Amino acid sequence: MITKTLIAVIGPTAIGKTDLAIRLANHFQTEILSADSRQFYKEMTIGTAVPSHRELKMAPHHFIQHKSIFDTYSVGDFEKEAILKLDHIFKEKNIAILVGGSGLYVDAVVKGLDSFPKVPIQIREELIQLEKEKGLSYLQNELKKKDPFYFKQVDIENPHRVIRALEICRISGQPYSSFLNQKRKERIFRTIYVGIKADREIIYERINRRVDVMMENGLLNEAKDLYKHKSLNALQTVGYKELFAFFDGKEDLNFAVEEIKKNTRRFAKRQLTWNRKNNEIIWTDFGEDISILINKIKRNKLKQ
């Protein structure tokens, strides 16, 4: 009988997942694992909305700024490390919290990674060269044709993710999404998904305000310090690449900031699409009293 429970807190960016995860961790007297792939890197703080020092002190956190942008770190690496960490936590506690905006990384912990065909290095190199010569939009269009389902879910502004999907499409002749959601790996825990929902206007308002606050807190200088490393995969992310374009003289600062807001809203849409396919989620309304959610979680635990 499985007695250990992982509570996975999910929802669109800027909706308040960190705050909810901390409150749940305090209630259940447990620890938090971050599955936000943007928050893994110690050189990126403001643009990734890393929990503040105050928040980090409120509950034990893991996988926050534990890597460098110069490290090679894959979702497979994260899966292995996260499972080891959960094994350790579950020796003393019956509940742990997983929080993140990266659906792929959440699924890696909960279900395990899917199996994909091996890709010859030349296919990857060809796609990387195409991105340099014709731009990311060229690869985005190819992915849209070959796998429209995954195109709606993936962060299409991240060239690494687009190239990864396309190389599988090319080597297999099948959509990348056809390899997803294979048989789950056996886990020592069961998972309860908790999703935060809100009207789209609220989500977009919070996103726009967060970007403004990031700029007020020094995102421009943070991006300037990282500009010389802009080709690294870790920096191919919203909030940095738009400012890199500003430093390149391709656009003015106001336009770059509006692009960050626009691309973050697009990312939130993809998160909503990803979560919509999951019918196991316990939904909580944005701003709802946490005691209501805790009762929902306890009732769900009793059902199992």
Q: Which residues are annotated as a binding site for substrate?
A: 13-18
Q: Which residues are annotated as a binding site for ATP?
A: 11-18
Rounded CA separation 228/40 (Å): 20
Q: Which of 139, 141, 145, 148 is nearest to 167 (CA)?
A: 139
Contact between 78 and 67 (Cβ < 8 Å): no
For the annotated binding site, the residues are: 11-18
Distance CA 122, CA 188 (A): 39
Sign of the alpha-carbon dihedral angle for 139, 145, 147, 151: positive
Nearest to 131 by CA among 154, 104, 161: 161
Rounded to whole angstroms, the Cα distance separating 196 from 33 reads 18
